Amino acid sequence: MASFDSLHKPENNSPNIVNPLNIEEFRRQGHMIIDFLANYYQNIENYPVLSQVEPGYLKKLLPNSAPNIPEPIETILQDIQNHIIPGITHWQSPNYFAYFPSSGSVAGFLGEVLSTGFNVVGFNWISSPAATELESIVMDWLGKMLELPQTFLFAGNRGGGGVIQGTTCEAMLCTLTAARDQILSKIGRHNIGKLVVYGSDQTHCALLKAAKIAGIEPRNFRAIKTRKSAAFELSPESLQRAIRLDVEAGLIPFFLCATVGTTSTTAIDPIGTLCDVAKDYGMWVHVDAAYAGSACICPEFRHYIDGIEKANSFSLNAHKWFFTTLDCCCLWVKDPVALNNSLSTTAEFLTNKASDSKQVVDYKDWQICLSRRFRAMKLWLVLRSYGVANLRNFLRSHVDMAIRFQLLVESDDRFEVVVPRTFAMLCFRLLPTALEKKQNGFNKNGHKVDEEYTNGINRKLLGSVNASGQVYMTHTLVEGIYVLRFAVGATLTEDKHVIKAWKVVQETADAVLTAV
Amino acid sequence: MASFDSLHKPENNSPNIVNPLNIEEFRRQGHMIIDFLANYYQNIENYPVLSQVEPGYLKKLLPNSAPNIPEPIETILQDIQNHIIPGITHWQSPNYFAYFPSSGSVAGFLGEVLSTGFNVVGFNWISSPAATELESIVMDWLGKMLELPQTFLFAGNRGGGGVIQGTTCEAMLCTLTAARDQILSKIGRHNIGKLVVYGSDQTHCALLKAAKIAGIEPRNFRAIKTRKSAAFELSPESLQRAIRLDVEAGLIPFFLCATVGTTSTTAIDPIGTLCDVAKDYGMWVHVDAAYAGSACICPEFRHYIDGIEKANSFSLNAHKWFFTTLDCCCLWVKDPVALNNSLSTTAEFLTNKASDSKQVVDYKDWQICLSRRFRAMKLWLVLRSYGVANLRNFLRSHVDMAIRFQLLVESDDRFEVVVPRTFAMLCFRLLPTALEKKQNGFNKNGHKVDEEYTNGINRKLLGSVNASGQVYMTHTLVEGIYVLRFAVGATLTEDKHVIKAWKVVQETADAVLTAV
């Protein structure tokens, strides 16, 4: 039996404060935060794009433990300005050209803010029907914009449909697990050690990680070699060869990940022919278009996913190059039942009439986690606030800026474009080798001018460019070549930023070449 | 070679619109959204707590495809008001008592908004040092509030530390994968089929799902029976027995998940003695305190995690009962190297001096996904905006409200408390059996009054209560008993809402009992 004596007395040292969700405080502080962020965007070009802090900087600035007594939002915002912003690498800066973009937008932001405000936990339909239904609807909208086959759409009524995951890593792990269980249910679970996963040496490392998590033997992971001369695409012949060898060795091929727009160089695997090879072995083919998928809403890029009708699943990250804030990975599958078979959970506390009726989608059974945020809101806002025509134009404007940058690179004969550009990312490098070969393979200071030397120069170039704080780019290494990656896609980027970036690169190259 | 001819022309039918991250639009629309949400909170009690829409309702209200032309935010907000809000189950309503709370707060909201505004992708240290460093700092802050042993804290300098995951499902999958690889590296990967996972029949279904994803044989999953008479706690003796049987059968025990605050009834497993059993077999013990962990910042509840120093990992969901919006699962591990060994990725495009120096934490190697949001921001804002003393008081106020509800239930002899209450959730039911036994086991209409009958009555009671839209509660089933769960924790809930909820339950019970 409970009694009133069990009730707590407030801690003496604590002043009475208002309810943590007090509406007037919500309004007052909410408006403050909007202005704070608007000012942040206004001043964003004043900050070094790549944070220049040293490891451990923040520990020196913050207390060792949480305060006992509340602190006012004004103090906290001051600390964010003084202590946090210097430690941020500004992905929203117009001078950000690193990795791939994390393209924010007003609509994406508002959508996330709304879903944070509602703060529903949409694990199944009943826990917030709108969250589930809007997700199915916008996934069909986006699927239609991409001209995905009906087999991937709810509207197609053939069992397929889309789901919003957090990231591509999750999409890969879910599809790989589904494919694994599908084959093991036929051949017996004890054969797990024989299953083989295929990708190329350009496939995102998320695939290897997913395979490891799913218990696939690490030695049964095939990263098939690609070549610069073939634009780093996975060749169907190489795949065929690798599969045959494995089959002869008594192994069981079951999963292929093809990529449209690899991380290093935006290479494009030939989906259709790869699927034809995989089909002969009953393999699941997932197409990872994390970066480049969004461009396929433009008719002129759509052909890069030709053959998608033969794949089992397809994903792209709307949080990369589609104006939807992190995280929003759009995954379409032909056979959600395969996902559900692996990922569904049943617990009495989750049972409800709607789920029992099988009339509804319970997205918890399409993903790793039970709890899920209302991510469809932001994608919906992006699609509606900008409209299809403008979204295409925005993406094209980024491609155009990459073309302008390419023209600049090509106009300076100290530089070369390393891999042909397809989307809004250019792989280039400084090529002292070409310049200095005239001097019998040695530079003016007697250093041997070879690939290693060239890589060293480019490493130095990138380091200096980024240390300037004026722009941020990153690198990759392909066939032993150290490459600078210039990825256009930050929403605020305009022509003038691209031109400035090139000027920084050129001037830094001058300095680097003078110093060697 | 690129040429200017490659540049795109804008689609004809598209008007020129401003940059998607235009700062004036950000400010204007941002303020609108704050007012929209403030008004939502103001009116939240006018909406049925549990959405009353029918499956498929939204498809009938929205177009089949995305608009080609932009739509103004005013139209979109109108649609959210008219079409989305009716489909939302209002987890932020003060009349929400279902599942476990998803307790929002102004500070949690602001933190999420800030991190959405910065929109950094903090996979490694260099990609935004502040995101990583603040996460390590707040995880130490919260760890200290919980009096976690030094072995779990960065400050302890013994290798341990904390990480923010999305949900407990991820925390379980990561720790289970780490434990799996740790043991398989010793005994050989071919033994994966012999590994056994242990929990109780009250352990969250996320454990089974994690085990399945990680490739553990489904038949090697032990959900050890618990009893109502022992408050549904996992008995160390039962664990010991189960392990012995498995070992005798040639299997290999490697992972135990103990729970502090189970989902059905907030049962508490005895961590210390369970760890003692597990230790003899070299097992990894994870402690899942998803719901109840936050209460352990109060000295009077801290003893429920006594023995935690013997466990390998510990997690709680700050997004459940700690005022931090979804998602924010706090996971501490003694041996992050074990996590890293299973989850780290290497790719040239991710290499950087800071990571190479081993001076920094790269959280991508502590979790499933590569990309990660700046979640530490919201937890930091919650801790600072409210302070430790008030956070304790808020949690206690919820416990007190649950006690008040318990007193009301106990004052009506038609009801019983099914399981003793520990935190802010009460398991109760209507007990016509007790009332009607007097009539020789049959009710006035000749129905047999047994457990099944009682369950039916309670099912009806809950259905009617929720259909009223006035409150929302959920149920569970333990030892065949259908139980109503009344979970206090929505931030806006006050005494008056608890009293109203009880009135709704009582009045509905009157109606249900009259009708049978």
pLDDT tens digits, residue range B225-284?
999 999 999 999 999 999 999 999 999 999 999 999 999 999 999 999 999 999 999 999
- Looking at A373, A402, A436, the residue that finishes a domain is A373
B402 found inside a domain: yes
Mean pLDDT of A39-50: 98
Look at residue A46 and tell me if it is in a domain: no
B294 with B369, same domain? yes
- Domain with residue B262: its CATH number is 3.40.640.10
A353 with A396, same domain?
Answer: no
Q: Which of B344, B373, B402 is the last residue of a domain?
A: B373
pLDDT range class, residue B358, cuts 50, 70, 90: confident
- The pLDDT assigned to B350 comes to 85
R_g of chain A, CA atoms, integer Å: 26
Q: Mark whether B403 and B327 lie in a shared domain.
A: no
Indicate whether B48 belongs to any domain.
no
B chain contacts of residue A34, beta-carbon cutoff 8 Å: 26-27, 30-31, 34
Model pTM score: 0.96
Q: How many CB atoms lie within 10 A of CB A185?
A: 12
Task: Dig out the tokens for B90 from the structure.
Answer: 């209002």
Tell me, what CATH number does B418's domain have? 3.90.1150.10
Q: Is residue A160 domain-shared with residue A283, that is, in the same domain?
A: yes
Quote the pLDDT of residue B151: 98
Query: Measured between alpha carbons, how far is A154 from A136 in angstroms, rounded to an integer?
Result: 7
pLDDT band at A299 (very low <50, low <70, confident <90, very high): very high
Residues B344 and B428 in one domain: no
β-sheet bridge partners, residue A429? A416
Domain holding B479, by residue range, is 393-515
Asked whether residue A264 carries a pLDDT value surpassing 70, the answer given is yes
Q: Which of A59, A70, A89 sits opposite B390 (nearest CB)?
A: A70
Cα–Cα distance list, B134 to A424, A477, B162, B276, B361 (Å): 33, 31, 11, 34, 11
Q: Are B477 and B483 in contact (CB under 8 A)?
A: yes
Q: Measuring CA to CA, which residue among A131, A90, A117, A121 is closest to residue A34?
A: A117
In a domain, B44, yes or no: no
> Two tokens at B175?
């720790």
- Helix, strand, or coil (residue A512): helix
* Assigned domain for B330 exists: yes
**Strands of the sheet with B425-430, listed across from one edge:** B415-419, B425-430, B481-487, B474-478
Does one domain contain both A405 and A308?
Answer: no
A208 contacts in B (CB within 8 Å)?
345
In a domain, B228, yes or no: yes
Length of chain A: 516
Identity of the residue in B92, B114, B396 whose CB atom sits nearest the CB atom of A8:
B396
Residues 6 or more apart from A131 whose CB is under 8 A from it? A120, A122, A372, A374, A376, A377, B87, B88
Q: What is the pLDDT of residue A449?
A: 76
Question: Quick check: is A30 in a domain?
Answer: no
The residue among B455, B471, B453 whose CA lies nearest residue B507 is: B471
- Bridge-partner residues for A197, per DSSP? A221, A255
β-pair partners for B78: none
Give yes or no: residues B255 and B315 share one domain. yes
Q: Do A373 and B326 touch (CB under 8 A)?
A: yes
CB B44 within 8 A of CB B92: yes
In contact, A231 and A223? CB cutoff 8 Å:
no
| Cα of A319 to nearest chain B Cα, Å | 9
What residues have CB less than 8 Å from A479, skipping those under 6 apart? A227, A228
Task: Check residue B478 and give its pLDDT.
Answer: 96
d(CA B498, CA B407) in angstroms, rounded, equals: 11
Residue B325 confidence (pLDDT): 95
Task: Among A348, A373, A398, identify where a domain stops.
Answer: A373
What is chain B's length? 516
Chain A contact set for B390 (CB, 8 A): 14, 17, 69-70
Min Cα separation B106/chain A (Å):
5
- What residues are paired with B252 via a beta bridge? B195
Identify whether residues B337 and B223 lie together within a single domain: yes
Q: Which residue of A has its CA nearest to B21?
A: A105
Beta strand residue intervals within B35-178, DSSP E:
161-165
B125 & B211 share domain: yes
Q: Is the pLDDT of residue B413 over 60?
A: yes
pLDDT-based confidence at B439, cuts 50/70/90? low
Q: Residue B73: what pLDDT?
A: 97
- Using a CB-CB cut-off of 8 Å, the residues of chain B touching A206 are 345, 370
Q: Count of domains in chain A?
A: 2
Burial A427-461 (b: 16+ CB within 10 A, else e): bbbbbbbeebeeeeeebeeebebeeebbbbbbebb
Does B431 lie in the same domain as B360?
no
Q: Which residues contact A356 (CB under 8 A, 6 or more apart)?
A: none
CA count, 13 A, side-chain hemisphere, B242: 25
Task: State both tokens at B166.
Answer: 């999305």
Q: Measure in Å the smallest separation between the Cα of B393 and chain A Cα atoms.
A: 6
Do B430 and B474 fall within a single domain?
Answer: yes
Q: How far is the C-alpha of B57 from the C-alpha of B60, rounded, in Å?
A: 6
In a domain, A11, yes or no: no
Interface test with B, best of A133, A146, A364, A477 (most B CBs within 10 A): A133
**CB-CB under 8 Å, B180 with A215:** yes
A368 and A405 housed in the same domain: no
CB-based contact B345 A205, cutoff 8 Å:
yes
Percent of chain B exceeding pLDDT 70 equals 95
The answer to whether B399 contacts A8, with C-beta atoms less than 8 Å apart, is: yes
Residue A514: how many CB atoms within 10 A of its CB? 7
Q: Do A67 and B4 touch (CB under 8 A)?
A: no
